[in-house]
């Protein structure tokens, strides 16, 4: 692995998986996104060891695994600006039993929701080989979600205009 941060993230995830195997814990799929997801999937090469993943209503015993991750953010699906069918596009990380990364397009949508400077920098790289037509379709899906926080949705809609203007989508 050429990226030191990727190596570190892989080590952290491997420690979690080793612990699960040692304790005989069958863990459900874990869906990574954000900078850590991008690094693990090889989408980006930048510094972060925070692990961002979606809260999939995990059982309490899985919390023991997440403690191994040390610095992690469990993101509520109802506050995250992605379509609920993201699982269909998620990419399995072959080195692990049950770890996935969201597609570039879904990660871009999650970044539109925040639209921070770091998110914009990441999107500048991700958009280069992302499917822009799919992004437009997924934006429409997110805009129609009725189960997302109103404030989150309004910020997303505002940011979509900025995104389209900046990235010619």
CATH number reported for the structural domain that contains residue 66 in this entry:
3.30.460
Task: Select from 68, 79, 5, 78 the least CA-distant residue to 41.
Answer: 5
pLDDT in tens, 19-32: 999 999 999 999 99
- Structural domain including 70 reads 4-167
* Closest to 120 (Cα-Cα) out of 22, 44, 19: 44
The Cα–Cα gap between 123 and 125 comes to 5
Q: Which residues, in sequence order, are CB contacts of 8 under 8 Å at separation 6+?
A: 49
**pTM of structure:** 0.94
State residue 3's pLDDT score.
81
- Statement: residue 150 has pLDDT above 90: yes
For the chain, how big is the Rg over CA atoms in Å? 16
Tell me the pLDDT tens digit for each residue of 29-67. 999 999 999 999 999 988 777 899 999 999 888 988 998
Provide the number of structural domains found in the chain: 1
* CA–CA separation, 126 and 115 (whole Å): 14
Please give the C-alpha separations between residue 163 and each of 44, 117, 155, 159, in angstroms, as whole numbers: 19, 12, 12, 6
């Amino acid at each position: 692995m050429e990226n030191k941060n990727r190596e570190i993230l892989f080590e952290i995830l491997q420690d979690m998986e080793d612990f699960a195997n040692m304790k005989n814990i069958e863990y459900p799929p874990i869906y990574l996104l954000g900078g850590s997801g991008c690094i693990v999937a090889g989408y980006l090469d930048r510094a972060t060891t925070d692990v961002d993943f979606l809260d999939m209503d995990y059982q309490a015993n899985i919390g023991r695994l997440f403690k191994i991750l040390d610095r992690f953010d469990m993101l509520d699906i109802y506050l995250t600006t992605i379509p609920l069918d993201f699982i269909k596009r998620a990419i399995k990380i072959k080195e692990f039993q049950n770890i996935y990364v969201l597609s570039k397009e879904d990660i871009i949508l999650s970044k539109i929701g925040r639209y921070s400077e770091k998110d914009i920098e990441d999107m500048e790289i991700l958009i280069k080989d992302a499917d822009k037509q799919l992004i437009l379709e997924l934006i429409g899906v997110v805009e129609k979600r009725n189960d997302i926080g109103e404030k989150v949705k309004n910020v997303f809609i505002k940011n979509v205009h900025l995104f389209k203007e900046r990235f010619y989508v």
